[in-house]
Structure 1
């Protein structure tokens, strides 16, 4: 006998064991009642073990069936996860970029049409997440991260150092905008992903003691609240540069505080992805150079 029973029989048995009914299992698997019953009987014959005990018109798992069902359920879960990962891994003509949602939306996304025009042979897929994706699993070709570098097993390319600025909408407070650091801190403050501490230190003023107008854990939400005129916030310049250029936001004062964590492009060193990763790394380096030149003007 093969060491591997038919997958269809295992799925039928697991469904019956979990649902306690052949009828419900058949409905879930979109097969007939008799097909499920036959699969379970075949499995019992292959194993030489009684898995289900018939009690009147009902079914009850034997002790052997209960233990086997737990192991089969775990194995089917592993197969499903392995299948998901295999499907999620990028193909040769697909470039998958893992990126923070805020940086992806505010900085990278507006620039991607240029990459697509220059490299039409690659289909782009963005994986936006606040969690660090393990590139060694092969779910993404490259990632743009914030940190101090030194990620084990990854090639790394430093992109740029960011700055923190105080910003608000031009219509905030009826257009009567604060100018001094002290006046800025008396406004309704939006506490987002970034701390006010570096900006306050650069301005030479203490942190405000009062509570924030409100707090959000995502820079995209903070920026949208700013656009709606709901307060003042400190944000990374890279995330608000576009909104500043379009006049949707304005910088309050001229204080720019250094942001502690640089941006990096990182990728696993796999021969099969070298061409597309090299193309993206070169293109991104050009985009960063243009961005930094614009910020220096």
Structure 2
């Protein structure tokens, strides 16, 4: 006998064991009642044990069936996860970049048309997540990360260092904008990921007190709250540079504070992804140079 029973029989048995009913299992699997019953009987014959005990019109798992069901459920879950990962891995003509949602939306996305224009042969896909994606799983070709670098097993290209600036919408407070550090901290304040400590130290003022008028764990929400005129905050320049240039936000003070963590492009050192990632890395370095030196922007 093969060490591997038919997958259809395992799926039928697991569904019956979980739902406690052949009828419900058949409905879930979109097969007939008799097909599920036959699959379970076939599995019992292959194993040489009784998995389900009939009690009147109902079914009850035997002890052997209960233990087997737990193991089969775990195995089917592993198969489903392996299948999901296989489907999610980049195809040959696809370039998948993992990014933080805020960086992806506020900095990278507006610049992508130029990459598409230069390299139309690639389908570009962004994986936006607050979690650090393990590139060893092959779900992304490369990632933009914030940190101190030194990620083991990854090639790394430093992009740029950021800074914290105080910003708000030009229509905030009816256009009567705070300008001094003390006026800025008088609020109402919007709190995001960033600590006020570096900016307050640079301004020579104490930390603000209270929880602020609005708090969010995603910088995209913070930027949108700023656009709506809900308050003032400090934010990474990279995330508000576009809004500042469009006049949607204004910088309230010349006070700025270095951000502790640079941006990096990282990628696994695999030959299969090396060529297309190198093209993306070269293009991204050009975009960073234009961002840091706006006077070089083409007319």
TM over 0.5: yes
Calculate the TM-score normalised by the size of structure 2. Answer: 0.98
Aligned to 1:215: 215
Aligned to 2:113: 113
Deviation at residue 256 of structure 1 after TM alignment: 1.6
Whole-Å separation in 1 of the counterparts to 2:30 and 2:149: 50
Matches within 5 A, 1:1-297: 1-294=1-294
Partners of 2:191 and 2:211 within 8 A in 1 = no
Deviation at residue 209 of structure 1 after TM alignment: 2.4
Whole-Å separation in 1 of the counterparts to 2:186 and 2:13: 66
Deviation at residue 275 of structure 1 after TM alignment: 1.0
Whole-Å separation in 2 of the counterparts to 1:151 and 1:212: 36
Whole-Å separation in 2 of the counterparts to 1:131 and 1:196: 23
Please list every run of 5 or more consecutive structure 1 residues that lacks an aligned counterpart in the other structure: none
SS in structure 1 at match of 2:73: helix
CA offset digits 1:26-62 (Å, max 9, x no partner): 0000000000000001001111111111111111111
CA offset digits 1:194-213 (Å, max 9, x no partner): 11111111111111223312
CA offset digits 1:231-285 (Å, max 9, x no partner): 0010000000000000000000111211110000000001011111000000000
CA offset digits 1:40-94 (Å, max 9, x no partner): 0100111111111111111111111111100000000000000000000101111
Whole-Å separation in 1 of the counterparts to 2:289 and 2:112: 15
Calculate the TM-score normalised by the size of structure 1. Answer: 0.98
SS in structure 2 at match of 1:254: strand
Deviation at residue 179 of structure 1 after TM alignment: 1.1
Runs of 4+ aligned residues of structure 1 deviating over 3 Å after TM superposition are none
Whole-Å separation in 2 of the counterparts to 1:219 and 1:102: 6
Whole-Å separation in 2 of the counterparts to 1:67 and 1:120: 53
Whole-Å separation in 2 of the counterparts to 1:273 and 1:79: 26
CA offset digits 1:140-192 (Å, max 9, x no partner): 00000000000111110000000110000000010011111111111201111
Whole-Å separation in 2 of the counterparts to 1:197 and 1:296: 34
Whole-Å separation in 2 of the counterparts to 1:189 and 1:171: 15
Please list every run of 5 or more consecutive structure 2 residues that lacks an aligned counterpart in the other structure: none
SS in structure 1 at match of 2:255: coil
SS in structure 2 at match of 1:255: strand
CA offset digits 1:115-135 (Å, max 9, x no partner): 011111110111000010000
